[in-house]
Amino acid sequence: MDMKTVIMAGGCGTRISEYTKHLLGKELPKPMLPIDGTPLLVREICSLRDQGFKDIILTVSYLADEIINYLGDGSKLGVKIAYFVETQPLGNAGALFKIRDHLSDDFLLLNADSIFDIDFRRVVSFHREYEAMVTLFTHPNSHPYDSGLIITDDNDKVMQWLMKEESRPRYYTNRVNAGIHIINVKALNQAAELMNIVIDKIGTKNPYNGEIIKVDLDRQILKPLCSMGKVFAYDSPEYVKDMGTPERYESVNRDYKAGIVHAKNLLHRQKAIFLDRDGTINKYKGFLRDIDDFELIDGVSEAIKRINESGYLAIIVTNQPVIARGELTLEELSLIHKKLETLLGQNGAYVDSIYFCPHHTDRGFKGEIPELKIDCDCRKPKPGMLLEAARDFNIDLSSSWMVGDSRNDVMAGKNAGCKTCLLTGIGTRQNGKGTNPDYGQELQCTSLLEFVDKVFKDKKVDETIRAKA
């Protein structure tokens, strides 16, 4: 891949340094912390190399010699590494202006304190298709309430970037910047003009207060460029997680040893748990038209959190005939789904994507939308939404589940080739013509949480699944 990669590896890692000093008996720069015995930075570089990104610039500062002495010129890893050593703090983006003459038109920019395994070629294709000035790799995470939020339009154009300290809407889509970017070098100069950054002054003392002039990547480069309409968000469920705290570091190590990090790369076939919405995730109240009537079922957040931790994708597929009937607008449906994502995020859970069918064949409703009154391929029990998700995320449907409270959910799952589970709790809908769910009584569950308990914890069910998969 003819694109330079810049890895920012100069941070001190103050939140985790004492923990690792106690754990390892010595102080290390955060990018050199071991993940299952191998330094994080080495794992990053190998992942890049294997996809053709072999021309790398490392910006280093804190304990720089530890990194330089270990990696050298990169030849032992099959790459070429150049270094920019910050002798004084330049901010997390000041170095980019110092090395901009050595960058290709588009370059990949990464943080060295995150573990990732992603299909970079997809990101590059997206960037070039949209002719983006900047592409942000975004994803949902388990703590959107203290993360910067990326707000886009329906075409993935970034309309707003809300920093974690800024006020945000009451309800929002769980979409955060993962710290992976493709940037056109011209964006640096345009950002400098927008923010009145004097490039030659970066790293020098401000004559008014004596402080070193620094540049912040998010606040002074990327966020201001959003106003130009050339920043786009590539959203993906692939594994990207920072290791800034002891808890996250331990979590990353567990995930790596379990094979989750590697498996989540979209180069590999994915497993998903497809979820109906009404009666499965939120309490069933007929056709949901009022956002105030949306209420999560007890235990759902915990169930979806366990799905997130398992390596399965959590994907909602929901019939929404109220759109065709003219009883709910697309904007109102979007706000309901933002409430869903916000409530889940407050409990450390997230869904990877939401698919909905707006069609309905029955006519005669006041305000109905004629163009949506069609016999479509996406309305359950047809499998269209599941098939679309399978194309988007390279999902192996035979290793995936469809879980819902209606026979139509079961039929949609079977029509897509998934394993299925029908929820039978109070308030669920066992309506619709169809067939029995897989595994008979063995997986007859009253709630999503019970399903997750049985699939992920019950040894007998696990053996049945392996035997029939």
- Could you confirm whether 146 is annotated as catalytic? no
Three-class SS state of 181: strand
Three-class DSSP category at 179: strand
Cβ neighbours for 376, distance < 8 A, ≥ 6 positions apart: 357, 359, 382, 384
- Residue of 106, 235, 276, 405 with catalytic role: 276
**Cβ atoms of residues 32 and 10 within 8 Å:** no
The continuous run of DSSP H or E covering 76 comes out as none
Active-site residue, 278 included: yes
Token reading at 129: 């298709």
Catalytic residue among 55, 156, 255, 278: 278
The pair of structure tokens assigned to 317 is 């597929």
Cα distance between residue 243 and residue 30, in whole Å: 8
Residue 468 DSSP label: H
Of 245, 304, 241, the residue nearest 276 (C-alpha): 304
Whether 140 contacts 351, CB under 8 Å? yes
Tell which phi-psi region holds residue 355, choosing left (phi > 0), alpha (psi between -120 and 50) or beta.
beta
Contacts of 76 (CB under 8 A, 6+ apart): none
Q: Which helix (H) or strand (E) holds 80?
A: strand 80-85
CB 6 within 8 A of CB 103: yes
Residues 197-236 as b or e (16 or more Cβ within 10 Å = b): beeeebbeeeeeeeeebbbebbbbbbbbbbeeebbbbbbb
Asked if 380 and 319 touch (Cβ cutoff 8 Å), the reply is yes
Q: Determine the Cα–Cα distance for residues 163 and 166; give it in Å rounded to an integer.
A: 5
What number of H helices and E strands is found in the chain?
16, 18
Q: Which residues are catalytic?
A: 276, 278
